A and B are shown apart, each in its own frame.
Chain A
Amino acid sequence: MSGSEDVMRFLDERLGAGRAVRFVLDYVFPDHWSFLLGEIALYSFVVLVATGTFLALFFTPDTAPLIYHGSYAPLRGAQISAAYDSTVRLSYDVKGGLLMRQTHHWAALVFVAAVTVHLLRIIFTGAFRKPREINYVIGVTMLALAMLEGFAGYSLPDDLLSGMGLAIAWSVAMSIPLVGGPFATALWGGRFPGTSVFESRLFIAHVFVIPVLLAALITIHLAMIMIQRHTQFPGSGRREDNVVGTPLWPSYALRSLGLFASVAAVLVAMGGLVQINPVWLWGPYHLYVGTNGAQPDWYLGWLIGALRMMPNLEIHVFGHTLVPNPFFGGVLFPSVVFMVLYAVPWIDRRFISREAAPHHLLDRPRDNPLRTALAAAGFSAVAVVFAAGSADRLFFQFGFGYEGAIWFFRGAFLVAPVVVFVLTRMICVELRRSGRHPLRGWSGSVLARTRRGGFQTIDR
């Protein structure tokens, strides 16, 4: 005890840290499983930084050709790029390298998934309402950055799949009206596949620019939660002007560290036991080679789906191509989705809740049927596009014809949101009326007859 007192006194006399430390230790976290989604994202990010730092020690961001002499026999003697060579080498010839690489990849998938589900939780419970609009906007920005970061990451190894992804990214950049050509050319250092400078630019974006931005935004995100305190679900003793929950020290800190260890355990175990992105099987990228059934990481599925679903429309003026086709699926669709996401707090204030009062008590999804139904409808539209991204896998796995599937998804994109809206609204209204809880069953008082013939009520 006296040891910690000495440390505290040392810090307090120099920084006045005593008050700050007590503030942090006494900080109260409301309890609910869904509040852990953001923490899962945070801890995945920590695993990403740790494994990514290890990988950066061995990866060469260079597309210069060389001859492979590593221990993976099928590639020996092949002419490949330095980037691809170093990726295969760090997988096969660096101790623990493959574990780190696969853990890094799995962590990236879990990171974006946790951010996405966290965002859904925020939207469905109305946690974005005043006074949390700023933090909400920062969160949506982090989702966009996370996707960009992931794409940059799996584009680095210069294997067949990363090259195919970059070809599409270049075409999407080219498709921006008027400025697309010069913009894409500047970024790639020439016409696709560009010069070697592009690989270094991708690398610095992936290991420095975007992670630093993410780290800064995560810091602000957490600082704002500290300032405003976490939201809480309504319950006994819980009011707008208080926070009911577990103090950080010691209980919540132990629990949260336990969650960190669990997340890391799952990611490391998957990194060791479940293969992901075996680049040596895909082979090196050449712009004249393609493979059938190629799929991006899951979080880009909605973009490939949008590119695939779009009818072959292009807009021409005065003999120029004003709007090339990839613009619709690759730029317009994600921009609209993110604009809507950014606008959610203000759409809610203006059209759904129709009020601007601050809220610290969360809505359960059923409490606001209109908001829940609209959010579910919007989500279903994106989900349909996401599913369309795997229409080719539907053909491989189940034999559904590709062209028919695309027409089906085009129809579903228009129909599903309406159906989902009506159904969700109905369910919410019914749940709110009946007081039933879909996960916990029915709750209320039970009138029971006692042994002696009397009656008593049992609270459940």
Chain B
Amino acid sequence: MSPEEPAGGSREESSREGRRRRRLWTLLAALALAASRVLRPRGSRARSDRGPAPPVGAEERAERLVAALLLLTALSGAGFVTLFVLHPDTQLLGATLGACLALLALALAVASSRLVVSETKVEQRPMPGDPMEARQAAESVQAGGQRVTRRRLLGGAVGAAGAGLAAAVVVPVAALGPGLEDQLSHTPWRAGRRLVDAEGAAVLAADVNPGGFLTAFAEGVDQEQLGSPVAVVRVDPASLRLPAARAGWAPEGILAYSKICTHAACAISLYRSPLSPSTQARGPALVCPCHYSTFDVLQGGRVEFGPAGRPLPQLPLMVDAAGALRAAGPLSEPVGPAWWGDRR
């Protein structure tokens, strides 16, 4: 098949479909126009029973109109069913069922404004708050416990029973999940663990280009584990301003940071890497797309902007004999959002 054939065919089909849709819209617009003319009140009081009597024959016309609208409702309902069986195209299904409901709405609107008695009624509003009733109800409640003399004892006992029962009812909630507080701070990163890509192949130092950004995982660990994914970037080693204790964490200017934002656990998937001198006033940064916490790559993941309260955990790196990247130690901080168990 030549490439033109399907394109030409689909164009013709789409134009036919377009014509069909245009006709549908024209029909809908005409109906809406007709309805707006019918529903427009004649004179300011046409809808109220105090107004002048409607002209002779108006009622019959309204009846015919309602019947016609209801028949059209039935027709578009049948159209929906037919389409559903033969050609369940979402747009056409929505248009026919929508039209069916819209026509029903019109029929009901015409019926309520033209066909049935539309009167304004005045009703007495029931006024709650009879003081006698309230007092009697309160007395009845108290009378129920009249033979109880040791009220305080019983009251306390009832309280105790309630507390016991409530505890028994609530305790099964503890089955929801294990108390995994130590799991919360677990990460797979140890000295010597290799960085691998999504397919499990080792990430080589040569894979990391200046200005580039790649995602790596701890080798042999589930990629969906919060502590595993790291963002790896390469910067000019001369521009690094890491704390003194982190000297040697970035061989050849390659840096790795946890990919999980310390604010709200989203994946840090934006990398600002200014290439032109005019934008280099601020250096490279890792940015979270959820709330735009911005972490300074050169300064060990310091928070530069945004709501994150803690720096991004940095992974010390080393390059092995084969040129592959390996962790040189654990992450510098707990991974993910803060909680009470985070010790600083």
Considering the chains assembled together, what is the distance between the CA atoms of A53 and B170 in angstroms?
Answer: 30
Determine how close the nearest CB of chain A comes to the CB of B282; give it in whole angstroms.
Answer: 10
Q: Are the C-beta atoms of A392 and B292 separated by less than 8 Å?
A: yes
A168 to B229, CA, bound (A): 17
Chain B residue with minimal CB distance to A241?
B125
In the complex, whether B323 has a CB less than 8 A from a CB of chain A is no
Q: Does A119 contact B (CB under 8 A)?
A: no
B263 contacts the other chain (CB 8 A): yes
Q: Does B74 contact A (CB under 8 A)?
A: no
CB-nearest residue of chain A to B88: A95
Interface residue? B135 (CB, 8 A)? no
Query: Are B337 and A261 closer than 8 Å at their CB atoms?
Result: no
> 1/0 contact trace for A270-289 toward B, CB 8 Å?
11110000000000001111
Q: A171-B264, A181-B339 are in contact. Are A312 and B93 (CB under 8 A)?
A: no
Shortest B23–chain A CB gap in Å is 15
Check A242–B336 contact: CB distance below 8 A: no
Determine the chain A residues whose CB is within 8 A of the CB of B111 once the complex forms.
Answer: 254
On chain A, the residues within 8 Å of B339 by CB distance are 174-175, 180-181, 184, 321, 324
Query: For the complex, is A265 an interface residue (Cβ under 8 Å from B)?
Result: yes
A181→B181 contact, CB < 8 A = yes
Given A102-B90, A181-B340, A287-B224, CB of A258 within 8 Å of CB of B109? yes
CB pair B88 A96 closer than 8 Å: yes
Question: Main SS of the interface on chain B?
Answer: loop
- Asked if residues A191 and B184 are in contact (CB atoms below 8 Å), the reply is yes
Q: Is the CB of B289 within 8 A of A307?
A: no
Interface size of A by CB at 8 A reads 99
Interface range, B side: 35 or more
Using CB atoms, name the residue of chain A closest to B215: A288
Q: Is the pair B224, A193 in contact by a Cβ cutoff of 8 Å?
A: yes
Please, which residue of chain B has its CB at the minimum distance from the CB of A243? B123
Q: Answer yes or no: A221 CB below 8 A from chain B CBs.
A: no
Q: Is the CB of B290 within 8 A of A168?
A: yes
Measured between beta carbons, the chain B residues less than 8 angstroms from A240 are: 125
- CB–CB B268/A258 < 8 A: no
Contact of A190 among B91, B177, B266 (CB under 8 A): B177
The answer to whether A261 touches B105, judged by C-beta atoms less than 8 angstroms apart, is yes
Query: What are some 29 contacts across the A-B interface (CB < 8 A)?
Result: A28-B122, A96-B84, A99-B90, A99-B97, A103-B94, A167-B264, A167-B265, A171-B265, A171-B336, A185-B180, A186-B174, A229-B123, A242-B122, A250-B117, A251-B119, A258-B104, A265-B99, A265-B102, A269-B97, A272-B98, A290-B288, A310-B307, A311-B307, A312-B306, A313-B309, A319-B344, A320-B342, A321-B338, A392-B289
Q: Nearest 7 pairs between A and B by C-beta?
A: A272-B94, A269-B98, A314-B309, A258-B108, A265-B101, A288-B229, A324-B338
